[in-house]
Amino acid sequence: MIYSEKVMDHFQNPRNVGVIQNADGVGQVGNPVCGDMMTFYIKVREDRLTDIKFQTFGCGAAIAVSSIVSEMAMGKTLEEALQITNEAVAEELGGLPKNKLHCSNLGADALHAAIEDYRKKQAAAPAKEAESASPGSDKCYCPYCEGPIEGMEEYCQKCQVELEECPRCGNLTRKGGDKCASCGAELHES
């Protein structure tokens, strides 16, 4: 089995490996026959992929495919990223042996699954916002942007701030910050 130089490069030096905490979308696919598993994590801003990370358990071809898919999709709109096919992935890598072509399917499928996950979350978001805007609601709000953060008390996705509870007043404030956004108390002793 002979791999192209590009496959070997992406296998030995994979790009964008890792996990995105509080990812906007997560897609996981696997092939039980060969045991390859791929998980893609995406961040989306204004309908464009601004960050992509992956974790892959599998052969060298699976790792190379994940790496190249992450590069191919970075910076693209969601629609453009959905156009990435297994054929395009294999072609971008300079070809794959026949018995490894399924890996290119997995890479494109994992990316597409992450995008679909993001879209499902976005479709559910307006319903949550309407619910949180109802009069008399006691939902939790970010102290920086006033956005609702119900169910995500440790992170505001709207303004991208990690939050923690102030030991003095109990309200949310920036994690690692010097002063509480609500009561102004010093958070960390010098």
Note if 183 is an active site residue: no
182 and 114 in one domain? no
Burial letters 74-108, b for 16+ CB under 10 A, else e? bebebeebeebebeebbebbebbeeebbbbbbbbb
Q: Considering the candidates 103, 142, 156, 180, report the single residue annotated as catalytic.
A: 103
Q: Where is the domain boundary, 98, 123, 148?
A: 123
Checking if the pLDDT of 152 tops 60, the result is: no
What is the DSSP-derived secondary structure letter of residue 174? E
pLDDT tens digit sequence for 53-100:
999 998 888 899 999 999 999 999 999 999 999 889 889 988 877 777
Range of the domain at 146: 139-190
What per-residue confidence (pLDDT) applies to 135? 45
**Can you tell me the mean pLDDT for 112-129?**
85
User: Helix, strand, or coil here: 30?
Assistant: strand
Residue 80 and residue 114: Cα distance in Å, rounded? Answer: 14
Instruction: Report residue 142's pLDDT band, with 50, 70 and 90 as the boundaries.
Output: confident
Q: Considering the candidates 34, 59, 140, 145, report the single residue annotated as catalytic.
A: 34
Domain count, the chain: 2
Note if 169 is an active site residue: no
Q: How far is CA 108 from CA 68, 135, 164, 185, in A?
A: 10, 44, 37, 49
Average pLDDT score, the chain:
82
* Higher-confidence position of 12 and 104: 12
Instruction: Report residue 186's pLDDT band, with 50, 70 and 90 as the boundaries.
Output: confident
